[in-house]
Chains A and B, each alone.
Chain A
Amino acid sequence: MTRTIKTASWDAALNTKVCDKNNNAELTITVRLGFRQVNPTNGATTGFYNDYGAAVSAPGSPPKKIVRWSQQDWLAWKKDFVRSAKQYWHGKFWLINNHQEFEYNDGASKYTPNIYCRFNLIESDFTVGGNYHHVIDVVNLDPSETWFGSHSTLYDNLDLNPITKGFDSNGNPIVQRAHVHEVGHLLGLGHVDEGKNHCPSSGNTNAAVCYGVTDIDKNSVMGSGMQLRAKHANPWRRAIITMTGKGAVLNNSDWAPKTVRTYPKAHATSLSN
């Protein structure tokens, strides 16, 4: 059986044909990205571009020097982006099937599969009318530049590099590769402390406190770090809940995420009985 849903941010496909006594159903979220080069204007090899792509410079921050993308650098950057983002988000969660959905027989036994969470990222160069969930502009900084203000739809060539974003209470560095955080946003995930009293969902959820105030939250990928939390399985949980009509995201026991492979559940009674 294959089921699919499409949202503005991603598509999801459930495949139960792979189920057997060892293998769970596979739920693949696919994000299609249209990458667009930000190059100097008028065919120049170098130019300037404001942080965040803003119409005016940020206070005290002159426009950043950018260079024209070479085809070689562009292809290498995209390849690295896709490979590392997929590596980070793919295959990290198994959702426990607490609704007895998709039961099947393998041999003499009956099984209930769990849901293996897959992630696929399809990139192509942006063209007008293209079929993308998100369009991402990418700046190529001159080697003299060391920092550029990025956001969820504007990256720079340095965003794939690990950056120290802060330190925890023990003085340990908190490091992040910005693009895996931004892909989290593209999946629909908010900042780690969004919804807490100090970061209400109705306020500015990009405020510094929304990136976490405790060590564990600061280290979350949706804070300033690189660590996954169970909550980051919510895009897949939303998808399976939509597909089955069973469960609710706010109920933690529905399609509860595990971060270790959890085999299909074998039922106690066999068909031969």
Chain B
Amino acid sequence: MNNNSLKCSHLVKTISSFKAIINDVENTYDALGGPMTSIAASGPNTYEVYILQDERIDRLTYTLKFNESCDVEIADKKEETLDPRNLSN
């Protein structure tokens, strides 16, 4: 398996995606009071990050894209605040 095939494998792309997201959160999110509880795929190349805080839940939705070499880049990021008292399944 050549290097590009490895980089473009689903697992390595997923790992690259998580690294890109974690790197962005570390560098841009500054409310440290509560924990990050979830990073989960919500669609192709789309991930939702949940960070719990007192009084609120912050949801960051990342859309990622890959170039031909399968290098990852954040294409879009949406920040929302959820009212935790309205949580539902």
- On A, residues with C-beta under 8 Å from B are 50-61, 147, 149-152, 159, 163-167, 176, 178, 181, 204, 206-208, 211, 224
Decide if B30 touches A166 in the complex (CB within 8 Å). yes
Q: What is the CB-to-nearest-CB distance from A163 to chain B, in angstroms, rounded to a whole number?
A: 6
Q: What is the CB-to-nearest-CB distance from A156 to chain B, in angstroms, rounded to a whole number?
A: 10
Decide if B33 touches A166 in the complex (CB within 8 Å). yes
A59-B38, A224-B33 known; A54-B56 Cβ under 8 A: no
Cα distance, A147 to B52, chains bound together (Å): 10
A59-B40, A60-B37, A224-B31 known; A206-B85 Cβ under 8 A: no
Cα distance, A204 to B56, chains bound together (Å): 10
Decide if B87 touches A151 in the complex (CB within 8 Å). no
Decide if B84 touches A167 in the complex (CB within 8 Å). no
Cα distance, A167 to B33, chains bound together (Å): 11
18 A-B pairs within 8 Å (CB atoms) are namely: A52-B85, A53-B85, A54-B87, A56-B88, A56-B89, A58-B37, A59-B38, A59-B48, A59-B57, A60-B37, A60-B50, A61-B38, A151-B54, A152-B55, A165-B32, A181-B54, A211-B31, A224-B31
Interface size class of B (residues with CB under 8 A): 20 to 34
In the complex, chain A residues whose CB is within 8 Å of the CB of B33: 163-166, 176, 224
Cα distance, A176 to B33, chains bound together (Å): 9
Decide if A52 touches B38 in the complex (CB within 8 Å). no
In the complex, chain B residues whose CB is within 8 Å of the CB of A60: 37-38, 40, 50
Q: What is the CB-to-nearest-CB distance from B16 to chain A, in angstroms, rounded to a whole number?
A: 21
Closest residue of chain A to B38 (Cβ to Cβ) is A60
Closest residue of chain B to A176 (Cβ to Cβ) is B33
In the complex, chain A residues whose CB is within 8 Å of the CB of B88: 55-56
Decide if B81 touches A61 in the complex (CB within 8 Å). no
In the complex, chain B residues whose CB is within 8 Å of the CB of A50: 87
A152-B55, A166-B30, A167-B30 known; A147-B85 Cβ under 8 A: no
Partner among A55, A164, A166, A224 whose Cβ is within 8 Å of the Cβ of B87: A55
In the complex, chain B residues whose CB is within 8 Å of the CB of A178: 54
Decide if A54 touches B85 in the complex (CB within 8 Å). yes
Decide if A58 touches B50 in the complex (CB within 8 Å). yes
